[in-house]
Amino acid sequence: MTVAPSLYLLRGDDKTRFRELIATFKAGLGDPDTADLNTSILDGESLNINGLVADVMAVPFLAPRRLVILENARNFLSKQAKDNKERVLKLFDELPESTALVLQVEDQIIKRSGNAGWENIKSYKWVEEWINTHPEQGIVVNCSLPSQDDMPLWIRRLCKEKGGEMDTNASVLLAEYVGNDTLRAGHELDKLIAYAGEQAKISAQDVVLLTAQDQEGDIFALVDALGERNGKKAMEQFLLLTEKSDVMELAGMVHRQFRLLIQAREVMDEGGRADRVQKELKVMSFVANKLHKQAGRFSMAQLVDIHGKLLKIDEDIKTGGMPGLLAFQLLIAQLTQ
């Protein structure tokens, strides 16, 4: 009989995929109430090695296995690599078959010198090496976000899984709006499927009505206010956005908008108009017109500078630096002085 692995290294930046896998693991524990009793969720930022040992060695209660989920595992593994590496590896060796330890590592693939690789692999490379030498005891599951080009197909597949159907133009438009944020895409699909009903296919017009005109309009209004150096209006639009999206979602939305503006500005600096922005950026015509108008409010130097500041905010949010809401408010104040 094949024995399930006791160690799972989930790495990537697709939080939706993380949730799906965790749900699958929990479902394997049987009755939901029993599964809850046999599931422990630990925080890698505050956990010490003794706490981890106690949890993974505990005996399951009325179930064949216990599920121990270590969130923020990269922080924990990075600290243990310095002080307790051998003890952690010994723990991996001794993991009971009755325990499934899931290490949830947030990471992303980036390109350096033309080669793609995991950005933070150094902090947990030793765990991957242990798994590679113990394939029956551990497994690595990559959970990368789909590329922007793959998102329309990904959206249509998820829509079908949720019991809906959408045409190609609708999936392309929704991908333009959410980028490769799979979590937001899932939320928007739930709303669109409920609106369209069981028999109707989701159209691009539905996406414009329920999604693009709503929050994307606020993003354009925020950027317009920044271009006008209108601090009061910019702050009002920012606060409206915080009511609809958490700070991580908001950071992604604003970051994506300025990335598009940089691309639009490049087209304009080469003499291109809105139709060329549409062709080069592969966006809908009404989006191209808005980007063309908005990019005209900024110079390329200003856009690059803002983009750099947004990257810093994103890094601070992920690493526990300055709180995201405060960082955005300070940025708005700086840009509208």
Domain boundaries, the chain: 7-143, 147-202, 210-335
Mention every residue, 6+ apart, whose C-beta is less than 8 A from residue 96. 6, 56, 57
pLDDT for residue 65 is more than 80? yes
Residue 236's pLDDT is 83
Cα dihedral sign for 201, 203, 209, 215?
positive
- Stated pTM of the model: 0.61
- Cα(43)–Cα(37) distance, integer angstroms: 18
**CATH number assigned to the domain covering 210-335:** 1.20.272.10
The whole-number average pLDDT for the span 128-132 is: 96
Residue type at 41?
I
Out of 2.60.420.10, 3.40.50.300, 3.40.640.10, 3.50.50.100, the CATH code matching 7-143 is: 3.40.50.300
CATH assignment of 147-202, among 1.10.8, 3.90.930, 1.10.3470, 3.40.50: 1.10.8
Local structure of 3: helix, strand or coil: coil
The pLDDT of residue 104 is 95
Band of residue 298 on the pLDDT scale cut at 50, 70, 90: confident
pLDDT bin (cut points 50, 70, 90) of residue 210 is: confident
Q: Are the CB atoms for 294 and 223 separated by under 8 Å?
A: yes
Range in 82-96, 233-247, 270-284 with the lowest mean pLDDT: 233-247
